[in-house]
Amino acid sequence: MPERRLSGHLRITASCDENGKTHLSRKAYQAPIHISKPYWNGKALLLNVMSPTAGLLEGDHVELDVVVESGATIALSNPTALRVHKMGTGEATWNQKFSVAKNAFLETNPEWLIPQAHSRFEQRSQIDLEKDAQLFFIETLAPGRVASGETFAFSSFRNRLELRYDGSLSALEKFEITPEDNTHTGWATAFENPFYISIYVVSSKLENDTPLFQALHDLQTDTLLCGSSQLNHGPCWNIKILSPNPVEVKAVLAKIRVLFYQAIERPVINLRR
């Protein structure tokens, strides 16, 4: 087993003061994670999370612990793609935990995760939401460095997500893509170079007939698939998007994001990208 190169972390708590302003009451980070100066726009706190390194290398490990206290509103934005580089027999790992309190709001908005040829990556996400918490949580995955002719050339990608609402399990999603074993064929059958986005949306203001979900059918094209499903427990839904065109995927994501904010009656947070 190769020695780990970097063991980084991000540990933050977003709190709400007596004036309704969200601030970071806890903040600690270590490479390969770096954060920008938090930006308060009068309604929400924006925090850019970046990697000052070239990406993740064999043996790198990252832990995220994000707590959003009651009344706080925060968006975590990753303005640059996360690249997972070529490896030997080891892997890189990314474990993240999010805890969102009653009447708090969290958005996570990463750029593309790009597993390059012969890379191995595992991501684990645990999301715990109190009743009346709100969430807009994005996962992204590119098929590789498509512009360089790499499509599903990575060795393995493993993903596990667990979402709990008001103490009960709402979603447990696990999948592994090992192109050598043809476990990517479900995606590649739809499109040759599919870019994938998964969005978990949670709010007690959402219903099945919310325009957000009704609009998904209209957003589909010959080169883009999208759909939603309500989860097992609570006001929780999952939206998935698949397309060979990353620009089209991001355009649809932007429309879905606006519709979500309209549905929950919050101003759209400007990510300042």
**Per residue in 18-29, pLDDT tens?**
999 999 999 999
Evaluate whether 244 touches 223 at the Cβ level (below 8 Å): yes
With vertex at residue 64, the alpha carbon angle to CA 58 and CA 70, rounded to the nearest 5 degrees, is: 170
Sign of CA dihedral 206, 207, 210, 212: positive
Percent of the chain that is helix, strand, coil (3-state, to 5) = 15, 45, 40
pLDDT of residue 109: 98
pLDDT of residue 183: 85
Per-residue pLDDT at 257 exceeds 70: yes
With vertex at residue 97, the alpha carbon angle to CA 118 and CA 260, rounded to the nearest 5 degrees, is: 95
Split at pLDDT 50, 70, 90, the class of 53 is confident
Calpha distance 241→141 (Å, rounded): 11
Averaged pLDDT for residues 92-102: 98
Per-residue pLDDT at 3 exceeds 80: no
pLDDT of residue 137: 98
pLDDT of residue 5: 77
pLDDT of residue 265: 97
pTM of the model: 0.96
Task: Please give the residue that has the higher pLDDT: either 195 or 53.
Answer: 195
Percent of the chain with pLDDT over 70: 99
pLDDT of residue 1: 44
pLDDT of residue 190: 86
Q: If you count DSSP H runs as helices and E runs as strands, how many of each does the chain have, helices first?
A: 3, 18
Using CA atoms, how far residue 59 sits from 1, 53, 144, 152, 247, in Å, is: 9, 14, 20, 21, 32
What does residue 255 show for φ and ψ, rounded to 5 degrees?
-65, -45
Calpha distance 165→171 (Å, rounded): 9
Mean pLDDT (the chain) is 94
Per-residue pLDDT at 258 exceeds 50: yes
